[in-house]
Structure 1
Amino acid sequence: MKTTLLFFLFPLLLFAQTKGIVVDEKNQPIPYVNIWVENENIGTTAEEDGTFSIPLKETKRIVFSALGYETKIVLSTNLTSITLHPKALELNEVVVERKKETSEIVIGDFSGIKLNSGVTNTGQENVHVWGKFVKSNEKIKEHPFVKSIEFVTSSKLNNVLLRIRIFNVNKEGFPTEDEVEEDILVSIKKGKNNNIVDLTKYNIRIPEEGIIVGFEYLKLEQNKYEYSYTTKGQKGSQKGYAYEPSIKGFFPGSESLLILNRDGSPRSKGYGNVEIALKIKLTN
């Protein structure tokens, strides 16, 4: 009897769920914090109430990152309550260019293009940001301020959340840091939908190096889609899950698609010829 009991407990210990909560200095929960295993792709997202659960089979270093807060790394044995501190404001001299807003242009208009491809969550524990590199040109230089973005999603669930990230890039086109230090969250409806996000208030200016528009999957319960599937040679169906939504695109396209880690560091560039259908409205 003892041998049998140990046999069934052992796998549970290997994949134990480590739970905790992320709070600020006032002990208020921080929602939608990025949480991942250092130097690995396993991770999760804190829920709206700051709580989280991450599967771990041994002691790991866990990274906690949220826009506007200092990143923190903690051993997985100390995850009961994690406090993040706001980033210190840098009082560097900033030259703010005043918008004229006398004319507008649209880049990336996908009207009339068959959206026969796209990107989605690639695994249950895999965490990533899909990014599209937007290269500057003469028209953009004359209309460098971003007013809005438009993209198409398909979702099996209603009211799922997607986070938009805007990254500055270096001369090689790789991301360096977030341009916007606060959450841009988009509520996605069920089915196929056009989503328009107004970015006017963020005063985003596309520099000569360009920018990357990122689409970050949030591993939240409200985004989790469960399904059944069968495997050849096995009896009965099995349960699987993925995170909604998918973001529509077309194929073949350009090599503007990137896969980024949650901290914005590049995982790969030029992911085939899939291109995210992304329309950007710009002003001068």
Structure 2
Amino acid sequence: MTKIFTVLFFILSLSIFSQNRIKILDSENQKPISYAKLILKDKSYYKNTEENGEAALENDEEVSEIQSFGYENLKVEKFQQTYLLKPQFNEIEEVEITKPKFQKSFSVGSIKKSSMGFSALNISWMVVDLFKNEIPDEKVYIKKIKIPTQVHNTIKEATFNLIFYENINGKPSLEKTKNIVVSCKSGKHLTEIDLSKNPIPFPKDGLFIGFEWIVNEQNTYSYITTVNHPDGTKEKNVLKHGTAPSFKAYESVNSNVMANSNLDWYNIFNTKTRKTVYSISMQLELTN
């Protein structure tokens, strides 16, 4: 029994000492920056900080850049335990509509579902879809967004970034226009984001809206699967790690779904090479 405890303690000690913990703070108020993105040198994946602004790095992981919406990107030249990000613009007090009065309601998109969906491992990505504004002669705003989400049963609550980009000639703009951190419960749910007190303008050109996974300890889960290799062989009972949540898609006539894995935007479903294409299962509720 003593030997078993000794071995377990040794393994736990190795795990602790093989990690370097860092913290990301706001340079002006010293508050932790939740879910900041850590770009890792010579790695095909990235990590995010936890809600408390902290993250654990393995010995072979080196941060080359730190990014967070609303802050200037920070190029990292040497290892530090604490990094400070400079706000990109002065904080402006947000006006909240306490008793909004809406005259008309419209909807864009669909929450239909199929067996097709989007999920992430530790190599994360961003996925967006173009939501077109086909409402004539009306200045409209987004008051609610509905997204079917699925969170692994070992996770009580997962978070993801709901991301917004301008539509520039059928492609997402270089910079995000808005980023909302959304929480979703364990299991299958229709996650709703209520924007009625702070409605988002919906331009005539429409918006690219989608999701970006937050790769951290909170959202990570493990599962056993079978791996099919290119040579036709199968490897059973392989331990894999995923990042919650997963999202759904539905079959559509045309697809404007685009993805980005920290390089450039590309079309996921090419109508020239695929018989079946899909759209993100998401519905916008609009109002004037």
Return closer, same or farther for 1:128/1:279 CA change in 2, 3 Å cut-off.
Answer: same
**How high is the TM-score relative to the length of structure 1?**
0.76
1:194 aligned partner? 190
Alignment equivalent of 2:46, drawn from 43, 48, 62:
43
1:282 aligned partner? 286
Query: Which structure 2 residue ranges, 5 or more long, are not aligned?
Result: 1-13, 93-99, 271-276
Q: CA deviation at 1:164?
A: 0.8
Return closer, same or farther for 1:79/1:214 CA change in 2, 3 Å cut-off.
Answer: farther
Distance in 2 between residues matched to 1:100 and 1:176, nearest whole Å: 34
2:271 aligned with 1:248, yes or no?
no
Distance in 2 between residues matched to 1:146 and 1:81, nearest whole Å: 38
Distance in 1 between residues matched to 2:21 and 2:265, nearest whole Å: 27
Counting matched residue pairs gives 252
Distance in 2 between residues matched to 1:219 and 1:140, nearest whole Å: 40
CA contact under 8 A between 1:160 and 1:223: conserved in structure 2? yes
CA contact under 8 A between 2:160 and 2:181: conserved in structure 1? yes
Return closer, same or farther for 1:89/1:38 CA change in 2, 3 Å cut-off.
Answer: farther
Q: CA deviation at 1:176?
A: 3.1
CA contact under 8 A between 1:65 and 1:72: conserved in structure 2? yes
2:204 aligned partner? 208
CA contact under 8 A between 1:227 and 1:240: conserved in structure 2? yes
2:109 aligned partner? 108
Distance in 1 between residues matched to 2:235 and 2:175, nearest whole Å: 49
**C-alpha distance after superposition, 1:19-42 (max 9, x if no partner):** 411112243321111111379642
CA contact under 8 A between 2:224 and 2:240: conserved in structure 1? yes
Alignment equivalent of 2:130, drawn from 130, 133, 136:
133
2:9 aligned partner? none
**C-alpha distance after superposition, 1:87-106 (max 9, x if no partner):** 23499xxxxxxx98311111
Distance in 2 between residues matched to 1:235 and 1:258, nearest whole Å: 31
Distance in 2 between residues matched to 1:53 and 1:198, nearest whole Å: 33
Distance in 1 between residues matched to 2:192 and 2:281, nearest whole Å: 12
Deviates more, 1:47-56 or 1:214-223: 47-56
**C-alpha distance after superposition, 1:165-206 (max 9, x if no partner):** 1122322332232222xx522221222111111123444212
Alignment equivalent of 1:24, drawn from 18, 26, 35:
26
2:224 aligned partner? 228
**How high is the TM-score relative to the length of structure 2?**
0.75
In structure 1, what residue type is equivalent to 2:267? K
2:116 aligned partner? 117
CA contact under 8 A between 2:161 and 2:212: conserved in structure 1? yes
1:151 aligned partner? 147
Q: CA deviation at 1:259?
A: 0.8
Return closer, same or farther for 1:39/1:211 CA change in 2, 3 Å cut-off.
Answer: farther
Q: CA deviation at 1:84?
A: 0.5
Distance in 2 between residues matched to 1:228 and 1:109, nearest whole Å: 32
Distance in 2 between residues matched to 1:104 and 1:134, nearest whole Å: 16
| Superposed CA RMSD | 3.1
Q: CA deviation at 1:151?
A: 1.1
User: What is the percentage of aligned positions where both structures have the same residue?
Assistant: 22
In structure 1, what residue type is equivalent to 2:126? V
Query: Which structure 1 residue ranges, 5 or more long, are not aligned?
Result: 1-11, 92-98
1:69 aligned partner? 71
In structure 2, what residue type is equivalent to 1:248? K
1:52 aligned partner? 55
Tell me the SS of whatever aligns to 1:68: coil
1:160 aligned partner? 158
Higher strand proportion (structure 1 or 2): 2
In structure 2, what residue type is equivalent to 1:268? Y
**C-alpha distance after superposition, 1:241-269 (max 9, x if no partner):** 1011110112355312111346xx74312
In structure 1, what residue type is equivalent to 2:36? V
In structure 1, what residue type is equivalent to 2:128? G
1:174 aligned partner? 172
CA contact under 8 A between 1:170 and 1:176: conserved in structure 2? no
